[in-house]
Amino acid sequence: MENQLRDDSGLLIDARLPSWHQKGTIPGSINIPFTVFEKSDLDPELISTFKRLGVTERQSKPGLVEKLLAAGEVNETWDFSNAKELILWCNGPWCGQSPRAIRGLLDHGYPPEKINYYRDGMQMWQILGLLTVQ
């Protein structure tokens, strides 16, 4: 993922609430709380966040050719053709914040092959003595 972070085709997402993020985070992470991905398609915060992730709102319904090329279901609200690869993480294996964010992303149609999960989260990061930033 290091290359994707460097060339801006990927993001490392701290899916915890801001109060957790302010206590310390993994370097290179951006804070997008899991609650954002649970919002409706019409919510301005979700729309803004999706733009940051390379997702755009469709201006028209997908055509037959696009549906055939997709070899699967095509989302009628969002265009994920330029969506970034994501790594989501939270406090650790016991924490449900990033799994909820991932469920929200999938519910909105985000491509599962572009979603990664760092299950160990902040807990193992700190146990391993790795750098954190505030």
Question: Which is more confidently placed, 94 or 62?
Answer: 94
User: pLDDT averaged over the chain?
Assistant: 89
Superfamily name with CATH number, domain 2-127 = Rhodanese-like domain (3.40.250.10)
Question: Side chain identity at 79, as an amino acid letter?
Answer: D
Nearest of 47, 80, 74, 50 to residue 62 by alpha carbon: 74
Mean pLDDT for the stretch of residues 51-69? 74
List phi, psi (to 5°) of 30.
-115, 145
pLDDT band at 22 (very low <50, low <70, confident <90, very high): very high
75-85 tens-digit pLDDT? 678 999 899 99
CA distance linking residue 66 with residue 62, whole number of Å: 6
Q: What proportion of the chain, given as a percentage, has pLDDT over 90?
A: 75
* DSSP assignment string, 47-100: HHHHHHTT-EE-SSPPPHHHHHHHTS---SSEE-TTPPEEEEE-S-TT--HHHH
Q: Indicate the pTM of the whole model.
A: 0.86
